[in-house]
Structure 1
Amino acid sequence: MKKLSAVQQKQQTLVFSVADTLEAEALKELGGMVQCWFDVQYHDFPASLLLRFQFENEERLSEATPQLKVWQRKLSAALLKKGVILKQGRQHLIFTVESPED
Structure 2
Amino acid sequence: MAILFTSYSYNPPLSLYLAVNLEHPMKKLSKVQQKQQALVLSVADMLEEQARSELSGMLQCWYDVEYHLFPSSLLLCFQFEDEQTLEAAKPDLLKWQKRLSAAMLKKGVILKDMRKHLTFTLLGPDD
Confirm or deny a common fold (TM above 0.5): yes
Counting only pairs closer than 5 Å after superposition, residues 24-63 of structure 1 correspond to structure 2 as 24-63=49-88
Specify which structure has the bigger relative contact order, considering alpha-carbon pairs within 8 angstroms and separated by 6 or more residues.
Answer: 1
Residue of structure 1 aligned with 2:103, choices 78, 83, 86: 78
- 1:48-90 deviations in whole A, cap 9, x for unaligned? 0000000000000000000000000000000000000000100
TM-score, with normalisation over the residues of structure 2? 0.80
Q: Which residue type is aligned with residue 50 of structure 2?
A: E
Corresponding residue number in structure 2 for 1:17:
42
1-structure distance, mates of 2:101, 2:39: 13
What is the rounded CA distance, in whole Å, between the counterparts of 1:99 and 1:12 in structure 2? 20
Count of matched residue pairs: 102
**What is the CA RMSD across the aligned residues, in angstroms?**
0.3
Identical positions, percent: 66
Structure showing greater Rg: 2
Secondary structure at the aligned position of 2:59 is classed as strand
Aligned to 1:4: 29
1:100 corresponding residue in structure 2: 125
TM-score normalised to the size of structure 1?
0.99
**In structure 1, C-alpha distance between the alignment counterparts of 2:115 and 2:79, rounded to whole Å:** 17
CA distance in 2, matches of 1:32, 1:70: 17
2:43 maps to amino acid: V
Structure 2: gaps of 5 or more residues: 1-25
1:88: which partner in 2?
Answer: 113
Q: How far has the Cα of 1:100 moved from its partner?
A: 1.0
